[in-house]
């Protein structure tokens, strides 16, 4: 029997790589549905290749360009309605940003497997997502390369034997620059990631280290360890994807070439492993594997992530929402690179914490964070 896969966010970087994996293993998987925001041309192409039962897009869709009989959802909440309508053996959540929270909660209600590439929904959803997972018996499997590495390394011991999780960070393109030199880095420098080919927002987040900050919170959400048991390490080669240190001093690490198609496939086939599209790693050709400490003063995104995680409630949502908004302003040329950190700091200081006990409370905190960033950026101009 083929596994049915629902792919939410099929046209982005993770979405298209998931399509590659599904095509490679067409004997194992069939596609139940695809969704995108606005890249409808890619969606038409994918639908005509993969013949899903459902497609969804925020933008309008032309039924003539889709295989006959395809059911269509459109509008701002199209992905959420698709997630409600289509239960699949595996739902891949590859939508980017906070917008994935409602589709995630809808998908959980089917009580099946969710392979999650989106970290923002976990960071913001927190206990709400946990409560829904246990209420509906759904299973969450990480696609994010670091979290997939930790998920695999955790299979080597008991939970109470774990000393700490060690997330690796490439350090991004500016790892060797001083804070002073960061003032005038250009947008194209920020988008030139040394090891991974990814979407624009996550590439920027890798340069500021907000991506690692989000992953510190994401790891806590996924594996239920507190801030004191989660650490980060700079590893510029992106070969060691993350590690788990056990209390006897053993460190279990996960190594491969940086290729997202591997963790995507593992989340789809788990607990099985099969041939993948990822080129094998030849360690003898990969020259030194380096590791450096992360300096939380050099990278305020890390310090603020720990503060937000310890505070919990809506503070992780504020951290994420402020960073999403600041990234938009940076892409629009309205603020500079180091202003991103200032804007997030301003939002974290401006907003009072409260419990993240409903989608409305989380949405309100997300909106307040974006507003606080706009105010702070406005003052600077």
Side-chain-side CA neighbours of 100 within 13 Å: the count stands at 29
# binding residues, Mg ion (CB under 5 A) = 3
Q: How far is the CB of 117 from Mg ion (least distance, A)?
A: 9
Q: Percent helix, strand and coil across the chain, each rounded to 5?
A: 50, 15, 35
DSSP codes, 94-135: ---SGGGHHHHHHHHTT-SEEEE--SHHHHHHHHHHHHHHHH
Give the distance, in angstroms, between the CA of residue 348 and the centroid of all CA atoms in the same chain.
Answer: 21
- CB neighbourhood size of 326 (10 A): 29
| Shorter beta-carbon distance to Mg ion: residue 53 or 144 | 144
Region of 101-109, 139-147, 230-238, 368-376 interacting with Mg ion (CB under 5 A) = 139-147
Residues 156, 151: Cα–Cα separation, whole Å = 10
Region of 38-46, 145-153, 169-177, 367-375 interacting with Mg ion (CB under 5 A) = 145-153
Give the residue closest to Mg ion by C-beta: 144
Cβ neighbourhood burial of 197 (10 Å; 0-12, 13-18, 19+): exposed
| Shorter beta-carbon distance to Mg ion: residue 145 or 320 | 145
Q: How far is the CB of 191 from Mg ion (least distance, A)?
A: 17
Region of 16-24, 37-45, 144-152, 167-175 interacting with Mg ion (CB under 5 A) = 144-152
* Rg of the chain, C-alpha, whole Å: 20
Q: Where are the beta strands (DSSP E) in 151-266?
A: 162-169, 230-234, 240-246, 251-255
Q: How far is the CB of 335 from Mg ion (least distance, A)?
A: 24
Q: Identify the sign of the CA torsion 317, 223, 147, 296.
A: positive
Q: How far is the CB of 214 from Mg ion (least distance, A)?
A: 9
Q: How far is the CB of 135 from Mg ion (least distance, A)?
A: 28
- Name the pairing type of β-strands 113-116 and 54-57: unpaired
| Shorter beta-carbon distance to Mg ion: residue 30 or 145 | 145
- CB neighbourhood size of 193 (10 A): 18
| Shorter beta-carbon distance to Mg ion: residue 216 or 252 | 216
Q: What is the DSSP letter of 64?
A: G
| Shorter beta-carbon distance to Mg ion: residue 70 or 147 | 147
Q: Identify the sign of the CA torsion 116, 119, 123, 124.
A: negative
Residues 181, 197: Cα–Cα separation, whole Å = 24
Please, are residues 268 and 6 in contact by the beta-carbon 8 Å criterion?
no
| Shorter beta-carbon distance to Mg ion: residue 40 or 94 | 94
Please, are residues 305 and 215 in contact by the beta-carbon 8 Å criterion?
no
Q: How far is the CB of 123 from Mg ion (least distance, A)?
A: 13
Instruction: Report 146-165 residues binding Mg ion (CB under 5 A).
Output: 146
Q: Is 120 in the site for Mg ion (CB under 5 A)?
A: no
Q: How far is the CB of 234 from Mg ion (least distance, A)?
A: 14
| Shorter beta-carbon distance to Mg ion: residue 129 or 260 | 260
| Shorter beta-carbon distance to Mg ion: residue 205 or 345 | 205
Q: How far is the CB of 144 from Mg ion (least distance, A)?
A: 4
Binding map of Mg ion across residues 24-53, x = CB under 5 A, - = no contact: ------------------------------
Q: How far is the CB of 97 from Mg ion (least distance, A)?
A: 15
Region of 142-150, 240-248, 308-316, 343-351 interacting with Mg ion (CB under 5 A) = 142-150
Q: Is 339 in the site for Mg ion (CB under 5 A)?
A: no
Q: How far is the CB of 197 from Mg ion (least distance, A)?
A: 13
Give the distance, in angstroms, between the CA of residue 146 and the centroid of all CA atoms in the same chain.
Answer: 10
| Shorter beta-carbon distance to Mg ion: residue 144 or 259 | 144
Instruction: Specify the 3-state DSSP secondary structure of 178.
Output: coil
| Shorter beta-carbon distance to Mg ion: residue 8 or 216 | 216
Q: Is 144 in the site for Mg ion (CB under 5 A)?
A: yes
Residues 33, 372: Cα–Cα separation, whole Å = 37
The site for Mg ion (CB under 5 A) is made up of 144-146
């Amino acid at each position: 029997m083929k596994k049915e896969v629902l792919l939410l966010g099929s046209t982005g970087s993770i979405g298209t790589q998931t399509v590659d994996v599904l095509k490679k293993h067409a004997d194992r998987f069939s596609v139940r549905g695809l969704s995108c925001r606005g890249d409808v041309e890619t969606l038409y192409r994918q639908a005509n290749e993969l013949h899903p039962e459902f497609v969804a897009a925020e933008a309008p869709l032309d039924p003539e360009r889709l295989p006959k009989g395809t059911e269509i959802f459109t509008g701002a909440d199209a992905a959420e309605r698709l997630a409600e309508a289509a239960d699949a053996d595996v739902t891949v959540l590859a939508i980017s940003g906070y917008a994935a929270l409602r589709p995630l909660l809808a998908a959980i209600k089917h009580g099946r497997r969710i392979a999650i590439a989106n970290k923002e929904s976990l960071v913001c959803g927190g206990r709400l997502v946990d409560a829904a997972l246990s209420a509906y018996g759904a299973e969450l499997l990480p696609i994010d390369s670091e979290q997939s590495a930790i998920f695999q390394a955790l299979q080597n011991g008991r939970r109470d034997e774990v000393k700490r999780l060690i997330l690796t960070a490439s350090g991004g393109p500016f790892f060797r620059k001083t804070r002073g030199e960061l003032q005038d880095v250009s947008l194209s420098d920020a988008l030139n990631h040394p090891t991974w080919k990814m979407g624009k927002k996550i590439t920027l987040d890798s340069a500021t280290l907000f991506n690692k900050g989000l992953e510190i919170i994401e790891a806590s959400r996924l594996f239920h360890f507190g801030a004191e048991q989660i650490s980060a390490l700079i590893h510029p080669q992106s070969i060691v994807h993350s590690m788990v240190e056990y209390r006897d001093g053993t460190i279990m690490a996960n190594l491969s070439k940086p290729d997202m198609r591997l963790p995507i496939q593992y989340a789809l086939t788990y607990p099985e492993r099969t041939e993948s599209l990822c080129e094998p790693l030849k360690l003898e050709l990969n020259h030194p594997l380096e590791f450096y400490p992360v300096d939380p003063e050099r990278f305020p995104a890390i310090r603020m992530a720990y503060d937000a995680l310890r505070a919990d409630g809506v503070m992780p949502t504020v951290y994420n929402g402020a960073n999403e908004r600041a990234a938009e302003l940076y892409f629009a040329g309205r603020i500079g690179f180091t202003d991103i950190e200032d804007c997030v700091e301003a939002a974290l200081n401006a907003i009072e914490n409260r419990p993240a006990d409903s989608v409305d409370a989380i949405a309100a905190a997300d909106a307040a964070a974006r507003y606080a960033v706009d105010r702070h950026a406005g003052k600077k101009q």
